[in-house]
Amino acid sequence: MRFFVGWRLNVFCAVAGFAAGGYAMNVWHEAQDAKALRKQVAEANRQIEREHQSDDATQATGEAVAVAVDAVQWRTRTIIREVPVYVTPETDRSYGDLPLGFVRLHDAAATGTAPIPFGPGESSDTPGGVAPSTGVATIADNYGTCHVWREQVIGWQDWYNTQSALWAGEAPEGATERR
């Protein structure tokens, strides 16, 4: 009888040991799972924060570009309004049209194409059909457009630099400052 009591006790202790060990392993795995879950939650929170910072940077860059573009457009309109003061109707009358050579080279530069060759009886000095005041206003408008594009490109560069720094984990420094 003693053998069975000892044997049963040994089996009971073995089963209890395995159960306790299994329970301990289960608790350990749950703790590891909880630790991994906390790590995932922290990473998700960092990702959400970066996305908020990215959205804020995009908004700030867009607003800075809009302000810069508005300023350029205002200056361009002001310059064009002042053309009659600086190139008066008397100047237009006394100088006549801009030379055809000037008009053709300007148009070629503006369109990025080769200048149109002169036809029979035409020369670079032939009147081009454009008054000096019209030429100046056109050139001012073209420069204004180029300045708008410049501000937009600077904005895109600022946005890219800010986003690159943000997603690389760096703190962006003054990326939206205007040049």
Query: pLDDT of 108-128, one tens digit each?
Result: 999 999 988 888 888 888 899
- With b meaning 16 or more CB within 10 Å and e meaning fewer, what string describes 111-146? eeeeeeeeeeeeeeeeebebbbbebbbbebeeebee
The most confident of 24-28, 36-40, 88-92, by mean pLDDT: 88-92
Q: What is the DSSP string of 106-159?
A: HHHHHHTSPPPPP-TT--TTSB-S--HHHHHHHHHHHHHHHHHHHHHHHHHHHH
**Higher pLDDT, residue 164 or 9:** 164
pLDDT at 63: 95
Question: pLDDT for 41-89, tens place per residue?
Answer: 888 888 898 899 999 999 999 999 999 999 999 999 999 999 999 999 9
Local structure of residue 99 (DSSP, 8 states): B
pLDDT at 142: 95
Handedness of CA 46, 52, 58, 63 (dihedral sign): negative
Region 16-36: mean pLDDT is 74
Question: pLDDT for 34-51, tens place per residue?
Answer: 888 888 888 888 889 889
Structure tokens belonging to residue 48: 């959400």
Q: How far apart are CA 54 and CA 157, in angstroms?
A: 14
Class of residue 16 by CB neighbours under 10 A (exposed 0-12, middle 13-18, buried 19+): exposed
pLDDT at 3 over 60: no
Q: How much is the pTM?
A: 0.69
